[in-house]
Structure 1
Amino acid sequence: MSKQVDLALACDLNDRTRALHDGTVKPEGIDLTFLPLQIEETFWRMLKHQEFDAAEMSMSSYMITCDRNDPELIAIPVFPSRFFRHSCIFVNADAGIDKPEDLAGRKVGVPEYQMTAALWCRGALQHEYGVAPEEMEWYHGGEEDAGREEKLELDLPDSIHLEYIPSERTLSGMLADGDLDALITARTPSSFETDSVERLFENYREVEMDYYRNTGHFPIMHTVVLRQDVYDERPWVAQELYKCFNEAKRICLEELHDTGELQRALPWLIDEVERTRDLMGWDFWPYGIDDNRETLEFMTQMAHEQGLTDRRLSVEEIFAPTTFDEYKV
């Protein structure tokens, strides 16, 4: 019997990846160690130290590495995290911000300028409402705990105003106090529980559904990357992982519509699934390049527009060539 390739994968454990974690789906020729770490830890350790053979990765941070070729990583076209982010723009209730256009000239906080949630929010503000990143002042730092830093050092154009908040302050507290007018963040700030903070889009579900109808974008947050040396030594590993992530997701999507027993603790889960499929189709969480090309091209456009990359990347250069012939679910 031929020896299995040992491979450590750091990835969030959710319904799209559970079958990989529990061994229901096993990659051929690979002895997979699935490390279910928090994504912030995974991103930091992979970008700073390349500790894992493969890892879930912030899509925007990964595009920065492609632009710089540092660190040397290569992605497979699976997207374990996707999220409509209109719900993630919070404003101070007394700042007089009633519509997106009111953010022009305002102080906007963000845990990291490079985070993918912020990439998509800035893209929506610019392309849907005409408010470009250059028209806002950006402040970054810890949301609930002081001292958060960017995972990768940024070299933004002079037109982008970005500075750290005071080391002892937090973004959530500054928003509540009125020292920030708005906050873009992937995690709901604790200050949202007070009367001082509200969402910019209170009817965010309707706004996000309209956004999908108008653009076709279901925003991609994360991809999965291999260290370049792992891929160079065994290119077939990328395709095998790609196939397995697809199979794990297929199992998830089938289970969601199991009417024998609810697979999630949501009373009207079946109605939600059916409504989503009416709008987005059976596979509303597509992997692969072809089924996501327009969204991926928009992401490379936004990364360049927002100063994260010096040039606009091509879709082909950011994914492993061995995954171009896509495995369909």
Structure 2
Amino acid sequence: MRLRTLLGDHPCTAALKSGSIQSDLVEFDFVDYSPTNKGFKPMVREAAFDVSEMAIVTYLMAKSVGKPMVLLPDVVVARFQHGHALYNAKRGTLKPADLNGKRVGIRSFTTTTGAWLRGLLANDYGVDLGSIDWVTFEDAHVAEFRDTTKRAPAGKPIIQMLLDDELDAVLGEKSEHPDLKPLFPDAEGEEKAWFAKHGVVPINHMVVVKQELSERHPDAVREVHRLLSEAANGSAAAPRFNANDIHRSLEMIIGYTAQQGLIPRAYAVDELFDDVTRALRA
């Protein structure tokens, strides 16, 4: 069975994309999007792929409006988030707790990195997210989401707006510009402390399959998971998550996503899977 597949170039997908791991049951017909997240919108809006890498917040939002996709317990991208926030130091020092009432830019209000960062700012640093003047640059992948943020001027890059004093801080970005400093000055130290407190590694991207594929060809879905697991286990650089790690991370991002109004309620982790993929979590 040939499966139209969207997977980025990651340590945990390299063996699949090179063909060094193959199957007698399924064959991946890879499509290329650069960056990979450009393919999330056609997956959500058009069910463009049989198998797709997917930002976890996009998946949660898609589920909330009934998009026919099912989650696999396969982590593709995971990282701590503290290092992906900047401010303009020429205007003075800005700390996370100083963000109340400030102008904060983010590529889209619905990015997974943004949801993680807003969640930790609100819950660990006491930031009132509702007081912030959010400025965004792109629509949500999920068309049904009603975005009430302020839209940046067309063609104006987010980093340039920060440099031009049109924003006080940005989330989801890195830069080597000498005027721009990390919002968390000791990001690595903050990340270690956050992990010690919560025991969670933030998941960014997992893998989904079409609901129809899972319903009609469960053996193919099980084989996709087996191949993804084999490829990840064969790479020393691939994310290492057991079932409990995935559960804790998903539980936290579900809570953050509901808290921020991106989904109408907090799902139980089990709800993200169907009978076929739930059995693969062990």
| TM bucket, shorter chain | over 0.9
* Change over 3 Å in CA distance of 1:327–1:300 after alignment to 2: closer
Unaligned runs of 5+ in 2: none
TM alignment of 1:99-110, pairs within 5 A = 99-110=95-106
Match of 1:224 in 2: 207
Aligned amino acid, residue 225 of structure 1 = V
Deviation for aligned residue 1:96: 3.7
Tell whether 2:141 aligns with 1:151: yes
Deviation for aligned residue 1:116: 0.2
The CA deviation string for residues 103-122 of structure 1, in whole angstroms up to 9 with x for no partner, is: 11111000010000001100
Alpha-carbon distance in structure 2 between the residues aligned to 1:62 and 1:327: 18
Match of 1:305 in 2: 259
* Identical counterparts, % of pairs: 24
Match of 1:41 in 2: 38
Aligned amino acid, residue 155 of structure 1 = R
Alpha-carbon distance in structure 2 between the residues aligned to 1:117 and 1:68: 21
DSSP 3-state at the match of 2:234: helix
The CA deviation string for residues 260-302 of structure 1, in whole angstroms up to 9 with x for no partner, is: xxxxxxxxxxxxxxxxxxxxxxx962154x3321211111111
The CA deviation string for residues 77-119 of structure 1, in whole angstroms up to 9 with x for no partner, is: 1110011110001112134443210011111000010000001
Alpha-carbon distance in structure 1 between the residues aligned to 2:128 and 2:275: 34
Residue range with higher mean Cα deviation, 317-326 or 86-95: 317-326
Alpha-carbon distance in structure 1 between the residues aligned to 2:24 and 2:268: 30
> Aligned to 2:60, which of 59, 63, 79?
63
Alpha-carbon distance in structure 2 between the residues aligned to 1:215 and 1:327: 21
The CA deviation string for residues 8-40 of structure 1, in whole angstroms up to 9 with x for no partner, is: 211001211111112222244112223353312
DSSP 3-state at the match of 1:221: strand
Alpha-carbon distance in structure 2 between the residues aligned to 1:149 and 1:106: 22
TM-score (norm 2): 0.92
DSSP 3-state at the match of 1:43: helix
Aligned amino acid, residue 226 of structure 1 = V
Residue range with higher mean Cα deviation, 25-34 or 204-213: 25-34
Match of 1:171 in 2: 158
Tell whether 2:223 aligns with 1:240: yes
Residue range with higher mean Cα deviation, 106-115 or 26-35: 26-35
Unaligned runs of 5+ in 1: 142-147, 257-282
| Preserved CA contact (<8 Å) 2:71 2:277 | no
Match of 1:197 in 2: 180
TM-score (norm 1): 0.80
Alpha-carbon distance in structure 2 between the residues aligned to 1:36 and 1:58: 16
DSSP 3-state at the match of 2:215: helix
Alpha-carbon distance in structure 2 between the residues aligned to 1:151 and 1:325: 28
Match of 1:82 in 2: 78
| Preserved CA contact (<8 Å) 1:25 1:248 | yes
Aligned amino acid, residue 142 of structure 2 = L
> Which has the larger Rg?
1
Alpha-carbon distance in structure 1 between the residues aligned to 2:281 and 2:106: 37
| Preserved CA contact (<8 Å) 1:246 1:287 | no
Alpha-carbon distance in structure 2 between the residues aligned to 1:237 and 1:317: 21
Residue range with higher mean Cα deviation, 214-223 or 317-326: 317-326
Aligned amino acid, residue 85 of structure 1 = Q
Pairwise CA RMSD? 1.9
Aligned amino acid, residue 60 of structure 1 = V
User: Number of aligned pairs?
Assistant: 280
The CA deviation string for residues 284-326 of structure 1, in whole angstroms up to 9 with x for no partner, is: 62154x3321211111111100010011112111123213233
Match of 2:277 in 1: 323
TM alignment of 1:136-147, pairs within 5 A = 136-141=132-137
Aligned amino acid, residue 128 of structure 1 = D
Tell whether 2:111 aligns with 1:120: no
Match of 1:266 in 2: none
Alpha-carbon distance in structure 1 between the residues aligned to 2:93 and 2:121: 14
Higher RCO (Cα < 8 Å, 6 or more apart) = 2
DSSP 3-state at the match of 2:78: coil
* Change over 3 Å in CA distance of 1:114–1:327 after alignment to 2: closer
